[in-house]
Copies of this chain bind each other. A is one copy, B any other.
Amino acid sequence: MTATPLSVDGDRLWADILSTARIGAYGETGMNRLALSASDGEVRGWFEAECRALGCTVEVDAIGNMFAILPGTEPGLAAIAVGSHLDTQPAGGRFDGILGVLAGVEILRVLHASGERLRHPFTVINWTNEEGSRFSPAMMGSGVFCGVHDIETIYARADKEGVTVGEALEAIGYRGPHAPGHLPMAAYLELHIEQGPVLEADGSAVGVLSGVQGLRWLDVRIRGTEAHAGAFPMNLREDALVSAAKVVLATQAVALNHPPGVATVGYIHAGPNSRNVVPGEVRLEIDMRHPEEEGLAAMETKLTAEIGRLVPGAEVSVVWRKAPVAFDAALRGAIRQEAEGLSLSAIDMVSGAGHDAAHVAGKVPTAMIFIPSREGLSHNEREYSSPQQCADGANLLLRSVLRADQLS
């Protein structure tokens, strides 16, 4: 590579964001581009044609992951890859996932215009069904690529209308010939919006991710005694909602006592849920995350003990445990240096949300870059990052790709 300071064209990137956002748009800024829908097929077609025009071959694997590959100058090297996803939530926005793929396309445009090439093949990846809104699980394509999910099991997953993943892939023509995990990668970098308020609150331009938080999902079932709200004296009650309220506050307290952990009771159902009946049963669903396994395990132990103390007889079950993911130290260091070179204020942070990069990190040296989300919004038609913020992120991604090209 040359030392010429390559730079993305922020206006061109913004134009790509706005023009492709028409595919699956609703309202002013809303996006409904569910995985493997017709609009997903359409944006995939745009991506494929655009990358081919920029000198790439485009490979599609069995789960529909798309790999736009620009050959490198040295034969036999594994790819330096960037990517994210072009599918959205049913009421999503224009940046979540999309930015990471379109920034990759913009890097292709820069390389194409300049005639520069990496030593390694440079690959832009569109992972299938990151959102998991139509077909579960989320991060499906990267999970299949990395061997986390069996392809036949995933083919059989159906949406609410009974259409399977295999059928939906066929329908849009993206059930490809390549076996899952076919592409050797030397490094994987993902640019994404933060989906939280930290960068905006902090006034930082970018976040350099140390990893993805580990996760515990707990289900809590509390049984009380359903009773007449007028006729049952307070001292004879077993009010399941009063017990549940204590669990909600204990969940918050456990997170506050284990920084930087977070814990949320996002779901509550009370039965019979009638104003003048003392609730006889409550179910809660808890989400707990922490960047370190020890912290997460401590949160789980503490909360389980607290629930047992506060609500004897409550049934607590852990329905999902996911270990934290640590990103590659060398790539993170390179990103930080490049941010400094670009005069972008950067902070280290950990991702609270899952990303395709979390799967990929199990196979390939991986890192992630965040740019700010206005008001921390995502999965929301009001989700927004400014043209400058997108350009800053894409520029940092470009510089990091060039650095990664030298690391191996």
Contact = CB atoms under 8 A, between A and B. Distances in A.
A264 B285 contact: no
Nearest to A258: B234
Contacts of A262: 229-230, 232-234
A44 interface: no
A198 interface: yes
Contacts of A378: 228, 231
Given A196-B227, A228-B352, A241 B268 contact: yes
A376 interface: yes
A63 B227 CA distance: 31
Given A234-B262, A376-B231, A239 B252 contact: yes
Contact of A252 (B217, B234, B252, B255): B234
A287 B275 contact: yes
A329 interface: no
A264 B237 CA distance: 10
Contacts of A244: 245, 248
Contacts of A264: 229, 239, 275-278
A215 interface: yes
A228 B96 CA distance: 13
**Could you say which of A239, A267, A273, A353 has the most chain B C-beta atoms within 10 Å of its C-beta?**
A267
Interface string A224-259: 000111111110100101101110110010011001
Contacts of A265: 241-242, 279
A359 to B, nearest CB: 16
Contacts of A286: 275
A376 B227 contact: yes
Nearest to A232: B196
Contacts of A274: 266-267
A289 B230 contact: yes
Interface in A39-60: none
A270 interface: yes
A232 B268 contact: no
A18 interface: no
B248 A242 contact: yes
A266 B277 contact: yes
A302 interface: no
A176 interface: no
A198 B354 CA distance: 53
A241 B233 contact: no
Interface string A168-192: 0000000000000000000000000
A333 interface: no
A131 B286 CA distance: 38
Contacts of A266: 229, 241, 270, 273-279
A304 interface: no
Given A376-B232, A378-B228, A249 B252 contact: no
A313 interface: no
A392 to B, nearest CB: 19
A230 B351 contact: yes
Contact of A215 (B230, B261, B278): B230
Contacts of A289: 229-230
16 contacts: A194-B231, A198-B233, A227-B376, A228-B353, A228-B376, A228-B379, A233-B260, A234-B256, A239-B264, A241-B268, A242-B252, A244-B245, A245-B248, A246-B249, A249-B249, A266-B274
Interface of A: 194-198, 201, 213, 215, 217, 227-234, 236, 239, 241-242, 244-246, 248-249, 252, 255-256, 259-270, 273-279, 285-287, 289, 351-354, 376, 378-379
